Structure 1
């Protein structure tokens, strides 16, 4: 039964990383510059999970964060020639590049991560109750 707790714990950690990533995406929806101050719109991040082969029982496996991918889609361009970060030349002259982040998708992803987190807390509570009841039968 302890393995069941380990598997649920791995899921809690993975969902926490996912929720932190979504929070960062939402917080940076208006970021038009990178860390150095250069004009570069923020690119959304997405967490990719994978099976954790170290946490396996007969019917279940743990989960871990496989990687955090950066969205490579085109930014959203808005024509704002007076903006200080407007593109000076080329095809997009006079346009400002904004992050291509969909708030609705991010909120749904956050809600899904929260529900998965809550479900795993429930599994942990049931596992603890079963362990407690098993011990009371033995004693």
Structure 2
């Protein structure tokens, strides 16, 4: 397989995993205040994405894919909200373990990675187009 096709496939796999990462970060941000429905119940638990790479021996490309979407096992912060529906008998509520600042940083990083992969695809397409133009001229 030619190097430009491999570059397109590698960048395409990168687009896919960064898209999934952006989806998970968006879900985390959307649920940053989602508490449990009953006293003492657990709130929304932050999700994380784990990637893995795989070497395609046929064409020499190293592709990336989502290995798993897991939950963050860190502790839930506790807030004193005595009138909340999920407050325990002491007035404390378990809050989601989502830190919006971390999620925004993850979103920014995923967005930059997505754009970088998109740029690789644009450049590879341009090189393919230039090659076709050269072949037509001869």
TM > 0.5: yes
Structure 2 match to 1:44: 46
The 5-angstrom pairing of residues 21-100 of structure 1 reads: 21-33=24-36, 37-38=37-38, 39-54=41-56, 57-58=59-60, 60-88=61-89, 93-100=90-97
Q: 1:18 aligns with which of 17, 21, 24?
A: 21
Distance 2:57 2:62 in 1: 6
Structure 1 match to 2:6: 3
The number of equivalent residue pairs is: 131
- TM-score calculated relative to the size of structure 2: 0.86
Structure 2 unaligned regions, length at least 5: none
| CA shift for structure 1 position 57 | 4.3
Go from structure 1 to structure 2 and tell me whether the alpha carbon gap of 1:104 and 1:56 turns closer, same or farther (over 3 Å shift): farther
Structure 2 match to 1:122: 119
Structure 1 unaligned regions, length at least 5: none
RMSD value, Cα: 1.7
Contact 1:56 1:62 in 2 (8 A): no
| CA shift for structure 1 position 134 | 1.4
Go from structure 1 to structure 2 and tell me whether the alpha carbon gap of 1:118 and 1:23 turns closer, same or farther (over 3 Å shift): same
